[in-house]
């Protein structure tokens, strides 16, 4: 890549023009001849430019003529490096994790993925989308393409699904993309009532039934887990009936 620079000598005795720029690693000058014998310089890019490292360059060009007396002039050249879409988006994390209560209402935001792009302008505009998501998860969550927020669409149920895993893609205005993984763990809440199943072994009960005789089996169950699933049984009138814990 080069930039042509035009110079006109003040008079014929000034044709021995010497042109140079200040030392720098990115640009150099090459002086070429026109068919009429005049000379013209070209500024050549010697090293790849990177806007993200240095967005502008300030050069000083000096021209010395061949006249008598020798005269010189300087010009300042400012070069602004425009952006190219050469940087992909980068997520702040490779894996995002969150614990989500199963009682959160639809419309609640559970997590936000974030990504940055070193480019600028339209090249730095990022959109988010799911790349891999199970069918049941796609019914439960949606992803805001602009903010990266993951939002509940339908009520969650810990007893139905305990963990949701999905892959998210960040894409810039070009074709450059990045991916991350999202793991959402559903947290159990005490939202299930205990269930009682009664099985009678003797009905009716004779009045001479011996003390200690098992007359019924009571089974309890709670779909919640941990402390939420622990059940304590009690009765209002326990005598002369005694409860015996089954093994």
99, 137 Cβ separation under 8 angstroms: no
Domain layout of the chain by residue ranges: 19-80, 90-187
- pLDDT single digits (tens) 104-159: 999 999 999 999 999 988 899 999 999 999 999 999 999 999 999 999 999 998 88
CB atoms near residue 68 (< 10 Å): 8
Q: How confident is the model at residue 241 (pLDDT cuts 50, 70, 90)?
A: very low
From the candidate CATH numbers 2.60.40.60, 3.40.50.2020, 1.10.8.420, 3.30.70.100, the one assigned to the domain spanning 19-80? 2.60.40.60
Q: Which class is 90-187 in CATH?
A: mainly beta
The pLDDT value recorded for residue 10 is 47
Chain position carrying tokens 């941990």: 226
**Which one is predicted more confidently, 33 or 148?**
148
200, 213 Cβ separation under 8 angstroms: no
The pLDDT value recorded for residue 139 is 94
**Res 244 pLDDT > 70:** no
- pLDDT single digits (tens) 189-234: 755 556 777 676 566 777 777 777 776 777 766 666 666 666 666 6
Q: Which of 35, 49, 40, 34 has its CA nearest to residue 1?
A: 49
Angle (CA) 182 184 186, round 5°: 175
Sorted by sequence, the CB contacts under 8 Å of residue 77 that are 6+ apart come out as: 21, 43, 58, 59, 60, 61
| Separation CA 100–CA 149 (nearest Å) | 14
**Which one is predicted more confidently, 83 or 171?**
171
| Integer angstrom CA distances of residue 165 from 68, 94, 208, 225 | 81, 13, 62, 21
């Amino acid at each position: 890549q080069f930039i042509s620079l035009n110079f006109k000598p003040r008079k014929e005795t000034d044709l021995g023009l010497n042109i140079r720029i200040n030392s720098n690693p990115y640009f150099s000058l090459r002086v070429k001849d026109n068919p009429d014998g005049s000379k013209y310089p070209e500024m050549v890019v010697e090293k790849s430019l990177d806007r993200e490292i240095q967005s502008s360059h300030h050069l000083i060009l000096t021209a010395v003529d061949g006249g008598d007396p020798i005269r010189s002039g300087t010009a300042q050249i400012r070069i602004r490096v425009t952006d190219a879409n050469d940087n992909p988006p980068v997520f702040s994390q490779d894996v995002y994790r969150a614990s989500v209560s199963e009682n959160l209402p639809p419309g609640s935001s559970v997590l936000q993925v974030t990504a940055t792009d070193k480019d600028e302008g339209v090249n730095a505009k990022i959109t988010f989308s799911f790349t891999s998501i199970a069918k049941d998860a796609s019914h439960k969550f949606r992803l805001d393409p602009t903010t990266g927020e993951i939002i509940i669409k339908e009520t969650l149920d810990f007893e139905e699904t305990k963990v949701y895993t999905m892959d998210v893609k960040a894409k810039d205005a070009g074709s450059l993309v990045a991916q991350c993984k999202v793991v959402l763990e559903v947290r159990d809440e005490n939202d299930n009532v205990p269930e009682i199943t009664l099985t009678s072994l003797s009905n009716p009960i004779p009045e001479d039934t011996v003390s200690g005789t098992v007359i019924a089996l009571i089974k309890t169950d709670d779909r919640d887990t941990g402390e939420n699933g622990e059940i304590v049984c009690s009765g209002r009138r326990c005598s002369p009936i005694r409860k015996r814990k089954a093994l």
